[in-house]
Amino acid sequence: MPLTRLIDNTADTPNIECLYTHFNFPQAPQDRPYVFVNMVSTVDGKTLLGDVGGSAVGVGDATDQLLFRRLQKVADAAMLGGATLRASHVLYPPDKPRIVLTRTGDFSLKNRFFTDAPDKAYVLAPKDMETERRKEIEAVAHFLGIGEGGVDLTAAMQYIRQELNIRYLLCEGGATVNGQMLPLGLLDELFITITPKLKGGGAVPGVIEGVGLPSHQYLPVSLLSLYHDEGEFYFRYRIEKEVRTARR
């Protein structure tokens, strides 16, 4: 079945063949990048089919992979968490700045994330990271030490915007990173592929993990577009900034 347009409230896709190749994003704020998240999940909200700690391989099909690469291409830079980097080699276009968010630096420095383009690789970590590990990282990538005991994400986003001049940042998860960014108001859009699969399992991560917002509070989202291909649905949402309280 060819890719089908179901809803599109944007002017970004004059024809279906160019889906996710061009965006009229709002102007990026001066104090942080405009951040858009890309995730894929089963119908029951699971982001893995294999073991916990593994990669998302197999969750999405060919069209999801195509759109995934297109989103990487349009971003000024991409960011992911250390757990995602531990799961498998992570590949980007050679000219694409890539940032890994970590507290401990527990991942292989031989990952292609680093070796393909060392001058484009950044490690965002607490400035009080263990000294020897920091030196090892500095030998293969740019080390950005922001925060103590953990990364200060608000300050980190300000640095990325103002010092690295990154206006549009693609966040590729995982769920823990998404869960850290959301309550701070640092996420602007969510691109999510829903695949016609069921997984189950309480330990299998969802799209957003962590503490979340306080009880009965939530952030509304607005549907920008929806496309469909062979049972997969490709949603694009704008994440609103005003926290709401659910009726009890």
Question: Are the beta carbons of 81 and 99 closer than 8 angstroms?
Answer: no
Give the integer Cα–Cα distance in Å for 79 and 92: 11
Q: What is the CATH number of domain 30-211+218-236?
A: 3.40.430.10
| Domains of the chain, residue spans | 30-211+218-236
pTM score, whole prediction: 0.95
Task: Give bridge partners of residue 30 from the DSSP assignment.
Answer: none
pLDDT of residue 87: 87
In this prediction, residue 1 carries a pLDDT of 59
Interior/surface letters 26-40, b for 16+ CB within 10 angstroms, e for the rest: eebeeebbbbbbbbb
pLDDT in tens, the chain (248 residues): 589 999 999 999 999 999 999 999 999 999 999 999 999 999 999 998 888 777 777 788 999 999 999 999 999 999 999 998 998 899 999 999 999 999 999 999 999 999 999 999 999 999 999 999 999 999 999 999 999 999 999 999 999 999 999 999 999 988 999 999 999 999 999 999 999 999 998 888 899 999 999 999 999 999 999 999 999 999 999 999 999 999 88
